[in-house]
Amino acid sequence: MTMLRAMKIDANKKKANTVIMRPLRLASACAALAFATLTAAGAAAMGNTWEGLKADVVGSRSLQSGSGVVTLSAPIRPEDQRAVPIAIDAHFTDGRTVKKVTLVVDENPMPVAAVFDMGPHQRHVTLKTAIRLNQQTEVRAIVEASDGTLYMSSRLVKFAGGQAACAAPPTGNAEEIAANMGKMALADVPTDGNATHIAHEMRLSISHPNHTGMALDQRTLLYIPLRMISSLEVRQGDAKLFDMTGSITIAENPYFEFPVSLTGDHNLEVVLKDSDGGEWKRSLPIRAGS
């Protein structure tokens, strides 16, 4: 009788979980994506999440240690989990170049935070941005070399507690967000004295809420529809610096830091697109050192 009762209780729990998950999936596209991610990973424990994600991210390809190739920097315990600073440095000294950089956040609803398809002839790549953090997680940088070899570095980032960042309400009201959406600014990043006369780091700031679909409107108590940055194209004149494929894991009103050539074109050409069909094109003057 004990075993039969236990089976009934387990069946009731499964039924209850099904009833609970159904309205969540209908309420938000992001919640559906989160559920699908958890299902794809099986019932894996949190520490084994990467094993459930790996095939979706890199397929059957092998991963080499990023030691000496990829450096990933992030705070161990961030001050603001809605905008956790991330820095990636990748370089090759054997003639190969950086083809692609993939940023993965294991425990987020959309684990692949961003994919940067780099322009040609880049042996040394530095990228900085900010991400949302839903809970304690491993953050990974996967770099693909021009010969197809993959290198990975990872770092554990702890959770400060409180509300998950993907469910946090956006900053400002809907009217302000709509009025500012698509605005961009390019600024010089102060150096520590190691800058060269050839390359200089710039910061591209973008006004976009990158709505996750998981946050409630504080006035209507309805979910704010998903509207995420889907792609970002960055060119220095005609020279491709990178194309980025985005996700809800990128922070609200994000920034991107990267080097530009001081001997190249003096304008940065940017094309931003989002999942709602929005598209913004900007030509921004490069004024390094100003």
> pLDDT at residue 151 above 60?
yes
What is the pLDDT at residue 255? 98
Alpha carbons 80 and 24: distance in angstroms, whole number: 26
The mean pLDDT of the chain is 85
One-letter amino acid for residue 170 of the chain:
P
For the chain, give the percent of residues with pLDDT over 70: 80
In sequence order, the 6+-apart residues with CB closer than 8 A to the CB of 243 are 116, 117, 231, 232, 233, 234
Confidence of residue 47 (pLDDT cuts 50, 70, 90): low
Give CA–CA dist 94/272, Å, rounded.
Answer: 34
Contact 106, 114 (CB under 8 A): no
More confident residue, 101 or 32: 101
Whether pLDDT at 67 is above 50: yes
Kindly report whether the global pTM for this prediction surpasses the value 0.85.
no
Report the alpha-carbon distance of residue 167 to residue 134 in Å, rounded: 8
- CA–CA separation, 145 vs 97, rounded Å? 6
Separation CA 254–CA 83 (nearest Å): 8
pLDDT tens-digit readout, 186-242? 999 987 655 556 788 999 999 999 999 999 888 888 999 999 999 999 999 999 999
The per-residue pLDDT for 264 is: 87
The separation between the first and the last C-alpha atoms of the chain, rounded to the nearest angstrom, is 80
